[in-house]
Amino acid sequence: MVKLQAKTPRARRQPEAESYGDEVVRYLVARLQLAVAEYADPHAAFGEPGDLAERMLRVVPDRSVWADVIGPAYTQAGLARAMGVSRQAVHDRTSKGRLWALRTADDAVVYPAKQFVDDFGVVPGLIEVVHQFDDVMVDEWTVASWLTSGQPTLKGASVLEVLRAGTPSDRVLALARETAHRWNR
């Protein structure tokens, strides 16, 4: 698990995080009470409460210094656990260019959580956009920053936001090609 410190002070984020956490806890309590009530022996069905909580937390991505730019990211092991597949399966999807992966300074591979939609499918069009930069001599984190930063030609929205909204990827692909060409000069 890659644990990096946040770029901004923790104290500034605490009230919003506590409110979000409280909302998640309320939702989980309500859903768990319903689920547990259906079993005569919840321990047999779910295991120890702490173990169940740990299994549930496996889908929460790790925080990184880039979290303010790209959002939270999964490690390879964390993504494998969240997807319910092996690390090798995640590696295979990565090597086939079907996941957006970034290599950290300490040589770990992380997967921005924003790339995923329901059931860990990748945002339609994102991988094609990322591949526009395959032959460009820029750092992959520069591309990540570009993907998640507001673009004037997209009315201030980021490429990732536009793709997540379902905008046809042709428009975004053209912008990616233009940017890759400009960066490659």
Do 160 and 123 contact (CB within 8 A), yes or no? yes
pLDDT computed for residue 106 by the predictor: 79
Residue-wise burial string across 26-47, b where 16 or more C-beta atoms lie within 10 A, e elsewhere: eeeeeebeeeeeeeeeeeeebe
CA 183 to chain CA centroid, nearest Å: 26
Mean model confidence pLDDT for the chain? 85
Average pLDDT over residues 5-9: 38
- Read off φ and ψ for residue 112, nearest 5 degrees: -55, 130
pLDDT of residue 121 exceeding 60, the answer is yes
Q: Is the pTM of this model over 0.75?
A: no
pLDDT computed for residue 65 by the predictor: 62
- The residues near 178 (Cβ < 8 Å, ≥ 6 apart) are none
Strand runs (DSSP E) across 48-113, as ranges?
Answer: 73-75, 102-103, 109-112
- The residues near 11 (Cβ < 8 Å, ≥ 6 apart) are none
pLDDT computed for residue 2 by the predictor: 39
**80-108 per-position pLDDT tens digit:** 999 999 999 999 999 999 999 999 877 88
Do 6 and 63 contact (CB within 8 A), yes or no? yes
Amino acid symbol at 113: A
pLDDT of residue 7 exceeding 50, the answer is no
Tokens in use for 77?
């092991």
The residue whose two tokens read 């009230």 is 15
pLDDT computed for residue 15 by the predictor: 66
Confidence band for 179, pLDDT divided at 50, 70 and 90: very high
Average pLDDT over residues 106-121: 90
pLDDT computed for residue 19 by the predictor: 86
**37-58 per-position pLDDT tens digit:** 998 898 898 899 888 888 888 7
pLDDT of residue 1 exceeding 90, the answer is no
pLDDT of residue 12 exceeding 70, the answer is no
Confidence band for 16, pLDDT divided at 50, 70 and 90: confident
Distance CA 158, CA 163 (A): 9
